[in-house]
Structure 1
Amino acid sequence: MSLTTITHGAVAVLAGLLVWFYQDARLGADLAEARLETTTQQLATSTAQRAADARVRQTEKAVAATYQGALNDALKKQTALQAAAAGAGRERDSLRKQLSAAEQRLADASPGALIEYASTLNELFGQCSSRYTELAAAADGHAADAATCREAWPVIPTPRLPAAGTTPNH
């Protein structure tokens, strides 16, 4: 073998090794860049998830505060309604006592007093009838408002489960 052949062979081996190391370094750089990109994407996803979680927590707090406020208002209204009902019960009992006393007085009353009493009762009945009509109209309005509120309330559909013994189609 000649010195030129050995030199050419050594240069070829050296060139092959240099190409090998260069490609290895390039592959290492590509892998590092891919890892960096993956890490960056994971960080962005994690940041977005934390932001979404924070928005969900804020929304949950707002819904809970709104619900608690509505619940407190409803409790106050319920207390007021119970007090009004108790007052109406006391009024009813008082009227019963007055009617009982009036019945006893009517037995001994003169015909003129009975006519005046009947006239007063007729007027009172007319006022009660008017008030009853107003109350019925208000109750109808409330019922319509309640129905509108129920119909407008958002409904989250529930997924249908497959019937027993069947398999879902995928």
Structure 2
Amino acid sequence: MARLTIYTSLAAAAAGAALAWYFQAARIGAELADERLQASQYREQIADERTAAGRRVLAVERTVNEKYQGALNDVIQKQAALQAAADRARRERDGLRKQLSDAEQRLADASPAALIEYASTLSRVFGQCSQRYTALAIRADGHATDAATCRAAWPVIPQSKETQ
């Protein structure tokens, strides 16, 4: 009978140990599953944040590209207008050269009264040219000031030490 009690006690102790082992394994398994779930949620959150950041970067890049393309188109149109104006100026210059050459021929045969009238007319024309060149110089100075202001106000994105 004492043996039976010992065997019964040993069996009860073994069953208790097995149950405790099983309970601990289930508890640890549940904690591990909970940690895996949290890690999965964290990875999903990071993936969502990366996707959102990527979308924001693409939106900013698209905006910058649109502004750049708009500015580039404006510059191309202005350059074409300047080229057309330069072509017109060249044609006018060539016409004036021909007129001056013809005038030199006529001056050789002109009377003193005609020469005085010609000198008076040249004086007025040079005065008008002087006024126009002064106005052009003022506009050029204004353009230079605008360009300097634009360069000074252009946004600069500072680079962090990580990107350098």
- TM-score normalized by the length of structure 1: 0.85
Percent identical among aligned pairs is 59
Matching residue of 2:116: 115
Note the alpha carbon deviations across 1:2-56, whole angstroms, 9 max, x for none: 4333323322221111111111000000000000000000011001111111222
Matching residue of 2:151: 150
CA distance in 1, matches of 2:122, 2:76: 39
> What is the deviation of 1:157?
5.6
Name whichever of 93-102 and 71-80 sits farther off: 71-80
Matching residue of 1:168: none
CA distance in 2, matches of 1:115, 1:89: 30
CA distance in 2, matches of 1:123, 1:53: 67
Matching residue of 1:164: none
Name whichever of 147-156 and 37-46 sits farther off: 147-156
Matching residue of 1:57: 58
CA distance in 2, matches of 1:57, 1:67: 15
Note the alpha carbon deviations across 1:68-114, whole angstroms, 9 max, x for none: 22222211211111111110000001111111111222222222222
Matching residue of 1:126: 127
Matching residue of 1:135: 136
Matching residue of 1:33: 34
TM-aligned CA distance change 1:151 to 1:83, over 3 Å: same
**Structure with the greater relative contact order (CA < 8 A, sep ≥ 6): 1 or 2?**
2
CA distance in 1, matches of 2:159, 2:65: 22
How many residues in Structure 1 have an aligned counterpart in Structure 2?
160
Matching residue of 1:88: 89
TM-aligned CA distance change 1:124 to 1:44, over 3 Å: same
CA distance in 2, matches of 1:11, 1:104: 137
> What is the deviation of 1:147?
1.6
State the secondary structure of the residue aligned to 1:154. Answer: coil
- TM-score normalized by the length of structure 2: 0.88
Matching residue of 1:165: none
> What is the deviation of 1:125?
0.9
Q: 5+ residue gaps in structure 1?
A: 161-170
1:12 aligns with 2:13: yes
CA distance in 2, matches of 1:84, 1:138: 16
Name whichever of 33-42 and 113-122 sits farther off: 113-122
Q: Which 4+ stretches in 1 moved above 6 angstroms?
A: none
Q: 5+ residue gaps in structure 2?
A: none
